[in-house]
Copies of this chain bind each other. A is one copy, B any other.
Amino acid sequence: MDQIFSKLTFRTNGEGFIDITHDLNLFIKKNNFHSGIFNLTSLHTSCSLTINENADPNVLRDLKKYMQSIVPYDSYFTLSKNREEISYKHYQEGSDDMPAHIKTSLTNTALSLSFQDGKILLGTWRAIYLWEHRIDQKERIVNVHIIGEKKQNKYNEIK
């Protein structure tokens, strides 16, 4: 069992999704790993790592719209009887910053995935996305870490 650490950098383009699946599978291949655990850690508190459908682009569009709708900029209304309006106390870094922290909390900044035969096990029509929650372009770093086997046929396959 070997391990390897590195960092991948992505340039985001405002709120939305960047498909990072290919870069991750390339990292496995380049480092000659066959099978193991692939740990991803976003080093930020205003973007997420998420897995979702990569077939119809409207899925990502609806997903972004939903998150913007339940975590609005500036203020939001509670779901309690009095329907109170709440403003963010942390607003100094922009009206999209505190909502971005909340969106991050409702999703994930770390993913622990399994890979086999040099490829992350995902299923059909699924991709791994870096989900940017800030309006501005950002440079985002994802820490990549593998623990696994470098040589083939050293693990047991159950049919």
Q: Name A's B-contacting residues (CB within 8 A).
A: 1-6, 31, 35-37, 39, 41-45, 50-53, 56, 58-59, 61-63, 65-66, 69-73, 75-81, 83-86, 88-90, 92, 98, 101-102, 104-114, 116, 121-126, 141, 143, 145, 147-149, 155-158
Contact = CB atoms under 8 A, between A and B. Distances in A.
A63 B145 CA distance: 29
Contacts of A58: 88-90
Contacts of A35: 3, 5
Nearest to A68: B78
Q: Taking the full assembly, how many copies of this chain does it contain?
A: 3
A125 B52 CA distance: 28
Given A39-B113, A43-B122, A62-B101, A1 B4 contact: no
Query: 10 tightest CB-CB pairs across the interface, nearest first?
Result: A43-B123, A112-B112, A72-B80, A69-B78, A114-B145, A58-B90, A6-B158, A58-B89, A76-B79, A1-B1
A101 B63 contact: yes
B156 A4 contact: yes
A142 to B, nearest CB: 10
A108 B106 contact: no
Nearest to A76: B79
